[in-house]
């Protein structure tokens, strides 16, 4: 298996997503797991790592896909995954294998 495709290692946390390639020596990317909108500008949103942390927090509105550790908004999570994996600055998922695991709540 000398020509094996690299694997995307993807840790989908409630607060941040950590991802990177299994063959990379670099630190994994840490991306906020949220969508941010500016108050008063409904058409402008920042997904994942696009948000500039230097903005005034009084003019922003966060949307998180998780509440109390449970995934509650799949639409927000999908938007974040799409930007993270397939966006301009995302990982090139078309030339890799992706491994994604999740903890299942059986209670």
Taking a C-beta distance cutoff of 8 angstroms, is the pair 29, 12 a contact? Answer: no
Q: Which domains does the chain have, with CATH numbers?
A: 7-88 (3.30.420.40)
Question: pLDDT tens digits for 59-68?
Answer: 788 888 998 8
Question: pLDDT tens digits for 13-25?
Answer: 888 888 888 888 8
Measuring CA to CA, how many Å separate 32 from each of 42, 62, 81? 20, 11, 11
Q: Is the dihedral of CA 40, 43, 47, 52 positive or negative?
A: negative
Highest mean pLDDT among 15-19, 36-40, 81-85, 92-96: 15-19
The Cα–Cα gap between 63 and 95 comes to 31
Quote the pTM value. 0.71
34 φ, ψ (degrees, to nearest 5) = -160, 165
**DSSP label at residue 60:** E
**DSSP label at residue 15:** S
CA 95-98-102 angle, 5° bins = 165
């Amino acid at each position: 298996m000398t020509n094996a495709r690299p694997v995307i290692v993807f840790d989908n946390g409630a607060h941040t997503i950590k991802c990177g390639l299994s063959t990379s020596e670099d630190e994994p990317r840490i991306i906020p797991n949220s969508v941010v909108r500016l108050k008063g500008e409904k058409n402008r949103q920042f997904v994942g790592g696009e948000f500039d942390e230097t903005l005034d927090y009084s003019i922003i509105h966060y949307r998180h896909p998780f509440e109390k550790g449970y995934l509650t908004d799949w639409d927000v999570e999908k938007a974040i995954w799409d930007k993270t994996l397939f966006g301009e600055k995302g990982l090139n998922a078309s030339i890799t294998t992706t491994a994604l695991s999740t903890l299942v709540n059986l209670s």
